[in-house]
Amino acid sequence: MAEAADLRVGGVQPFTSLDFPGRLAAVIFTQGCPLRCGYCHNPDLIAARRRTGLIPWADVEAHLHARRGLIDGVAFSGGEPLAQAALIPAIRQVRGMGFAIALHSAGTAPARLAAVLDDLDWVGLDIKAPFDAYEDVTGVAGSGDKARASLALLAASGVDYELRTTVWPDRIGAAELRAIARQIAPYAPPRWAVQEMRTPGANGRAVASPVFASAALWDELRAITPHCEPRRAH
């Protein structure tokens, strides 16, 4: 059985006010992702293992203990946190320290998401593409079905969440956004952020797309899915 100490951690951000709405938080970046999205902003976190740079779980624990009283939440991001069975005991251990928990995920493992939902306070779920065209973005067959199943679980859970779609101009344009809006509308998501793509790295630049300049498109999307908003890159 996996333990928290087995979690492969590729990085820790000590403080954020952006990654956990309404809370000051630290971010734990897990190492490894089963998807191969062409626009990935954190390509160093894709490989399941790397020779150097992983952070021992004991060091993560010590860091979080030192920040008790300074932050009130911890966000697990990646990579893809659900790719690791050790995510579940790690989340429960951090929650036991008194922190609220956020999860950033592409919904790659619905069963694992179901197992940890009761321990989450907020989820950011990536919707990469229309579900029947997921492979065009992720490079992985069947990934759309897993994302749809994860959305269904999340929508039924009562956990606060938002959906995010990154506009990769090579694959995602107005037609794809309309299709996504129609597919997510039955789940009545509380928020759907359509966000600009950034090039990889801490100083990545925003990649322009005409969808952000079309007021008519945003009116059309909101008519399908009311809580839709453009999110420009910072």
Q: What is the pLDDT of residue 123?
A: 98
Q: What is the pLDDT of residue 227?
A: 97
Angle at CA 161, nearest 5°, toward 157 and 166? 130
Q: What is the mean pLDDT of the chain?
A: 95
pLDDT band (50, 70, 90) for residue 234: low
C-alpha dihedral over 4, 28, 10, 40, to 10 degrees? 130
CA pseudo-torsion sign 143, 206, 15, 53: positive
Query: What share of the chain in percent tops pLDDT 90?
Result: 89
Whole-structure pTM value: 0.96
pLDDT band (50, 70, 90) for residue 202: low
Look up residue 157 and give its amino acid: S
Q: How far apart are CA 136 and CA 77, in angstroms?
A: 23
Superfamily of structural domain 4-231: Aldolase class I (3.20.20.70)
